[in-house]
Amino acid sequence: MKDAGIAIVIASSNQGKIKEFRSLFPNNFVLKAQSEFTTPQVEETGKTFVENAILKARNASLFANLPAIADDSGLEVDALNGRPGVNSARYAGPAASDQDNITKLLAELEGVPRPQRIAHFHCVIAFLRHADDPTPLICDGAWQGYIQTEPSGSYGFGYDPVFYVPTHKCTAAELDTEVKNQLSHRGQALAKLIQKLRSDPSLS
Confidence of residue 3 (pLDDT cuts 50, 70, 90): very low
Q: Which of 38-42, 86-90, 132-136, 170-174 has the lowest mean pLDDT?
A: 38-42
Q: What is the pLDDT of residue 26?
A: 81
The rounded distance, in Å, linking the Cα atoms of 110 and 104 is 10
Provide the annotated active-site residues: 72
Q: What is the pLDDT of residue 204?
A: 55
More confident position, 184 or 199: 184
Q: Which helix (H) or strand (E) holds 137?
A: strand 137-147
Q: What is the pLDDT of residue 27?
A: 80
Q: Is the pLDDT reported for residue 186 higher than 80?
A: yes
Q: What is the pLDDT of residue 91?
A: 95
The pLDDT tens digits for 111-131 are 999 999 999 999 999 999 999
Q: Is the pLDDT reported for residue 2 higher than 50?
A: no
Q: Is the pLDDT reported for residue 16 higher than 90?
A: no
The CATH number of 6-203, from 3.90.950.10, 3.40.50.300, 3.40.50.720, 3.30.565.10, is 3.90.950.10
Check: CB of residue 144 under 8 Å from CB of residue 120: yes
Compute CA distances 188 → 105, 180, 200, whole Å: 25, 10, 19
Q: What's the CA angle centered on 140, arms 23 and 113, to 5 degrees?
A: 95
Residue ranges of the domains in the chain? 6-203
By C-alpha distance, which of 130, 162, 167 is closest to 148?
162
Q: Is the pLDDT reported for residue 4 higher than 80?
A: no
The rounded distance, in Å, linking the Cα atoms of 36 and 88 is 26
More confident position, 13 or 167: 167
The rounded distance, in Å, linking the Cα atoms of 159 and 191 is 22
The rounded distance, in Å, linking the Cα atoms of 93 and 36 is 27
Instruction: Please give the mean pLDDT across all residues of the chain.
Output: 91
The rounded distance, in Å, linking the Cα atoms of 165 and 154 is 15
